[in-house]
Amino acid sequence: MEITGNRLMASSIEEVIENPGTQTIKFKIMFPVDFDNNVFEERSLEFNEVIFYSVDEIIIPIGRIPQINLITDLGQVKKLKAEGPRGEEKQVIRKRFEIQTTIGKRIIEFSDYKFSN
C-alpha cells in the first residue's frame, strides 16, 4: 500500500520499536478501517535499512497519542556508510519521508517499507 499523502490520516501512533541489529523501525498504529463508524484496527508500518530517524514533537500531554496527518516523500538522500572490517566507505541511497503528526513531525531515511495487518 502506498502511504504518502493522507492515506494514513487519523492513524494513531501507539508504539515505535527500533531494532538496531536489523536497522528497522516499526510503527504500531491504529488504522481507521471505517472512519464513519469510528472503527480502528491495529496495523504495522515497518521501515527497513533505516539510517536516520528524528522526532520533533512537543511533549505529549498525558492521554494524548500522536496521530498521523500527512506523509510527504522528500525524495532521495545519498550518504556514506562504513562497511567491512576496515570500515571502507560505501555510498548508499535512501528514501526520505516526513511524517507530520498532530503534535509535530518525524523524519525517516530508509530503503523500503512494509504496511501490514
First vs last Cα of the chain: how many Å apart? 11
In the chain, what percentage of residues exceed pLDDT 70? 97
Residue-level pLDDT at 24:
98
Strand partners, 43: 29
Residue-level pLDDT at 83:
77
Residue-level pLDDT at 81:
78
Distance CA 114, CA 44 (A): 8
C-alpha cell at 50: 533505516
pTM, two decimal places: 0.87
The pLDDT confidence band at residue 63, using thresholds 50, 70 and 90, is low
**Residues 15-39, mean pLDDT to the nearest whole number:** 94
Residue-level pLDDT at 62:
65
